Amino acid sequence: MKVLWVTDIWGVHSSQNAEFEQLKSQVEQCERLDPYAGQPFVFDDEQQAYDYFQCRCSAPGYAELLRKWLEKHNEPVILLGFSAGANAIASTLTNHPFPQVVGTILIYGNRLPELQSPLTQPSHLLLCNQDSGVNEWQPQWPAQLQHSSLGHGFMNPRCPNFDQAGAASAWSWVAETIKALA
């Protein structure tokens, strides 16, 4: 089984290499898709990361990058998305059928409550209670939904809301979920 990690606005960075290597040891293949074509950036703060994401890629552009990746890869894949990556996955899959996607793991995708149509793939969602609209929202597709009291971005060491214990627990959940989907 292959896993595609669709990053958040921070992109690829060395602070998440340990988690990436752990994923690679768990599945046959693991790749990352990020908004900056693999080029690592050091942002001063979250606002700078967001502004650069909007300028360089944007939410629709990120969904388009994912769509192009999926069109080139026909083997079964689990999509793992964080924040903007989770939103890109949801946006792409509501607009295009990709039968090779066997499941999704969407973490703090704050735009998920705005989806106009349901996903058809089994989904596992981990949402932050602090994100607007997620507490009242119920997905309209087969999904297992969990909520976290931690802040948006709590699994990313570069995010101001990073929580080491919460991240460790969530990464264990990701590993178990991948095992269940594979």
The CATH code belonging to domain 2-181 is 3.40.50.1820
Per-residue pLDDT at 124: 92
Per-residue pLDDT at 66: 98
Per-residue pLDDT at 141: 76
List, in order, residues 6 or more apart from 60 with CB less than 8 Å away.
91
Per-residue pLDDT at 166: 96
Per-residue pLDDT at 103: 96
Per-residue pLDDT at 111: 83
List, in order, residues 6 or more apart from 58 with CB less than 8 Å away.
none
Domain boundary assignment for the chain: 2-181
Q: Which two tokens stand for residue 73?
A: 């890869």
Beta bridge partners of 134: none
Reported as a single tens digit per residue, the pLDDT across 27-69 is 989 999 999 999 988 899 999 999 999 999 999 999 999 999 9
Low-confidence ranges of the chain (pLDDT < 50): none
Per-residue pLDDT at 106: 95
Q: 145: closest CA among 159, 131, 165?
A: 131
Alpha-carbon distance values, 124 to 13, 105, 115, 118, 170 (Å): 25, 5, 16, 14, 12
**How many whole angstroms separate alpha carbon 149 and alpha carbon 131?**
10
